Amino acid sequence: MKISWNDFVEECRNCQACPLSKTRKNVVIYRGSVVAPIMFVGEGPGANEDEQGLPFVGQAGQLLQLLLDAQGFSMEDFHIANVVKCRPPENRVPTEAEAKTCKVLLGKQILISKPKIIVLLGKTAYTLFTGDKMAKMTEIRGKFFEKNGYYILPTFHPAYILRNNNERIKLWKDIALVREKAEELGLMKPLPSAPDMPTARPSGK
């Protein structure tokens, strides 16, 4: 059954399918382009995201945006979402049950957004998205795998990079890999020259 984006948004805003609906201020659905070749998926909204109703708008989101800008991604190239659309209280990790319930909506979102590349931001997003609890981030990050016709790349969550700045180069390399894959698949045109890693640190959460 085909569902329109507006109907999907309405469904999300009215959703009370899991307990997170009771404490949310906003249902956080996406930012970027509705239809986009690349989807970034985090674990869930934080306080800023809950307040503004947009994903990845705090300090971690600013870092992600900085890297995307530096690699020449425009708003039309990506769609940013989370495994769960409502903020878990105190920023706790979403439970498996909450993730499983909300993944029904994420599945619809993927069908509408039609990405070819899906980037999983952080171990929790990877585990909740794939169901694989055993993988170690050090072993899976930066390596694409294919599933159901999607090219999936696990990488670090930008919030982790803010706490471990010496790892920043790895996230930078992974975002560059996303760009490379998008070009290889003909989803984006090649950049005239390789960009430098940005050094400015985002301010404010």
> Is 87 an interacting residue with respect to ligand SF4 (CB under 6 A)?
no
Question: Which residue in the set 26, 52, 95, 101 belongs to the binding site for ligand SF4 (CB under 6 A)?
Answer: 101
Question: Which residue in the set 5, 9, 17, 116 belongs to the binding site for ligand SF4 (CB under 6 A)?
Answer: 17
Site string for ligand SF4, 114-153 (x = CB under 6 A): ----------------------------------------
The three-state (H, E, C) secondary structure of the chain, written as one string: CCCCHHHHHHHHHHCCCCHHHHCCCCCCCCEECCCCCEEEEECCCCHHHHHHCCCCCCHHHHHHHHHHHHCCCCHHHEEEEECCCCCCHHHCCCCHHHHHHHHHHHHHHHHHHCCCEEEEECHHHHHHHHCCCCCCHHHHCCCCEEECCEEEEEECCHHHHHHCHHHHHHHHHHHHHHHHHHHHCCCCCCCCCCCCCCCCCCCCC
Question: Which residue in the set 30, 46, 65, 84 belongs to the binding site for ligand SF4 (CB under 6 A)?
Answer: 84
| CB 31 within 8 Å of CB 65 | no
Q: How far is the CB of 28 from ligand SF4 (least distance, A)?
A: 9
Closer residue to ligand SF4, CB minimum distance, 65 or 101? 101
Strands 117-121 vs 78-82: parallel, antiparallel or unpaired: unpaired
Question: Which residue in the set 68, 86, 117, 182 belongs to the binding site for ligand SF4 (CB under 6 A)?
Answer: 86
Q: How far is the CB of 128 from ligand SF4 (least distance, A)?
A: 12
* Region binding ligand SF4 by CB under 6 A among candidate stretches 79-87, 148-156, 157-165, 170-178: 79-87
Q: How far is the CB of 157 from ligand SF4 (least distance, A)?
A: 18
Q: For tokens 């404010």, what's the residue?
A: 204
Tell which residue, 140, 163, 158, 138, has the closest CA to residue 198. 158
Site string for ligand SF4, 18-57 (x = CB under 6 A): x-xx-----x------------------------------
Q: What's the token pair of residue 186? A: 């003909």
Q: How far is the CB of 84 from ligand SF4 (least distance, A)?
A: 4
> Is 9 an interacting residue with respect to ligand SF4 (CB under 6 A)?
no
Q: Which residues make up the interface to ligand SF4 (CB under 6 A)?
A: 12, 15-18, 20-21, 27, 84-86, 98, 101-102, 105
